[in-house]
Amino acid sequence: MVKRVEIRQSVMAADERHARAIRKEMGRRSIVMLNLIGSPGAGKTTLLEATLRKASFRCAVIEGDVATSRDAERIAAAGAPVVQINTKGGCHLEAHLVAKALESLPLDEIDVLFVENVGNLVCPAEFDLGEDGKIAVSSVPEGADKPLKYPHLFHQALAVILTKADLKPHVAFDDALFWNDVTGLNPKAPRLEVASTRGEGIGDWISLVEMWLRSKGEGR
Amino acid sequence: MVKRVEIRQSVMAADERHARAIRKEMGRRSIVMLNLIGSPGAGKTTLLEATLRKASFRCAVIEGDVATSRDAERIAAAGAPVVQINTKGGCHLEAHLVAKALESLPLDEIDVLFVENVGNLVCPAEFDLGEDGKIAVSSVPEGADKPLKYPHLFHQALAVILTKADLKPHVAFDDALFWNDVTGLNPKAPRLEVASTRGEGIGDWISLVEMWLRSKGEGR
């Protein structure tokens, strides 16, 4: 077991070096890098599509999926530079995969890099990709009990976005339970509700990203 | 890297022994054991609640979650013997955890053992728990593109259940895409649509489980 731990530590350390290098590069360029994490079907890609339609900042996207390039095709159709990473069974993105994907993106021409992680509320929360922050994306039809059942992501999230808010009339969703549990795990994270297909709440989300952009620009 | 692979193989082999022992025990007892796998919020617990309300066979449930015992409390309220496994960050159940949980269940008094895996469409598909089959649970609001994006589970599933069918009027869901992709991955698996909160489709699901019960009883 000792050997297993040692080898795991060495693999993790190599990936942490990649994450540090990415964070340094994004800092030098004042690019805000956001790692979107949520369940399969939480609405991460639809949120990005709505963001690309409305934002005045320039975006690129890295799409992480177990298989298919369906999400990257949707992002490309929305007009942003995009790279698809297929993990071929892997349940999360790692920094070395992101470093490789960055080689194909026009970093001189963007303000914000969105990384859409593999649809998974557990594993991606464990891995630093060099991002400014992880964005927890949780949808109304998943139910209000998710924050406490998957606490690690919500605890560390830079912001929490509740998606598919337009479905509230059609499902039992306990708003107070959801947001109280988020508060318990992460009292200071900004929180947003959106209905991406209708564009509702997207303006507030874009304002939040613009605030991070200004902070990062000033920190340079 | 060689050492890492060897150690991983040894850990996997130990777990395979647990899975084999569980399968043998369930065979001896003619208990049908089903491993429910789906995204967070796919409706696995609600499907089980509806099943417990309507089934004439005797059930027990093992609940797998990263944290909380909320699901086990719901199952207990529905009247079935239940054991909660908290993986404390772990993204899937393993056979040694199930073996331990079985010690607390009245196996002499049940016909069907449901294992509700951690909400995760990726990792749990990789692990044999000794079950008769994995049941892929996917919900309408997650979107119709899930089978091809998470092919490993759908490929090997004993049956595919599309949940929250009552939400179809309120979301864009491409039935043909979903079921065509399922057919491509797993042409022979029985397929069901349910709306668990309304009890719709639950009778068909129970009939399917009863068919597996008869097959297993005859195979003894």
pLDDT digits (tens, 9 = 90+) for A200-214: 999 999 999 999 999
Encoded tokens for A92: 């999360």
Give the chain A residue whose CA is nearest to the CA of B46: A143
Determine whether B21 is exposed, middle or buried from the number of CB atoms within 10 Å of its CB (0-12, 13-18, 19+).
middle
In CATH, what number does A2-219 get? 3.40.50.300
What single letter denotes the amino acid at residue B207?
A: S
pLDDT of residue A10: 74
- Per cent of chain B over pLDDT 70 is 95
Residue B105 has pLDDT above 50, yes or no: yes
Chain B CB contacts of A68 under 8 Å are: 145, 148-149
* pLDDT single digits (tens) B167-220: 999 999 999 999 999 999 999 999 999 999 999 999 999 999 999 999 998 865
pLDDT of residue B5: 54
- In A66-132, the DSSP E strands lie at 82-86, 112-116
Terminal-to-terminal C-alpha distance of chain B: 44
Residues A130-181 pLDDT 10s: 999 999 999 999 999 999 999 999 999 999 999 999 999 999 999 999 999 9
Q: State the pLDDT at residue B8.
A: 65
Q: What is the pTM of this model?
A: 0.94
Please name the residues between 134 and 173 in chain B that touch chain A, using a CB distance below 8 Å: 139, 141-143, 145-146, 148-152, 164, 167, 170-172
Joined together, the tokens standing for residue B194 give 């349910």
CB B115 within 8 A of CB B36: yes
Lowest mean pLDDT among A13-27, A51-65, B3-17: B3-17
pLDDT at position B130 over 50? yes
pLDDT of residue A2: 47
Under a CB-based contact definition with an 8 Å cutoff, are residues A121 and A92 in contact? no
Find the mean pLDDT for residues A12-30.
95
- Under an 8 A CB cutoff, do A146 and B40 touch? yes
How sure is the predictor about B2, in pLDDT bands with cuts at 50, 70 and 90?
Answer: very low
pLDDT value of residue B4: 53
What's the CA gap between B101 and B36, in Å, rounded? 16
pLDDT at res. A7:
61
Which of A120, A141, A150 comes nearest B164 by C-beta?
A141
Domain residue ranges in chain A: 2-219
Q: What part of B 37-66 touches A (C-beta under 8 Å)?
A: 39-41, 65-66
User: Rounded mean pLDDT of chain B?
Assistant: 95
Type of residue at A52: L
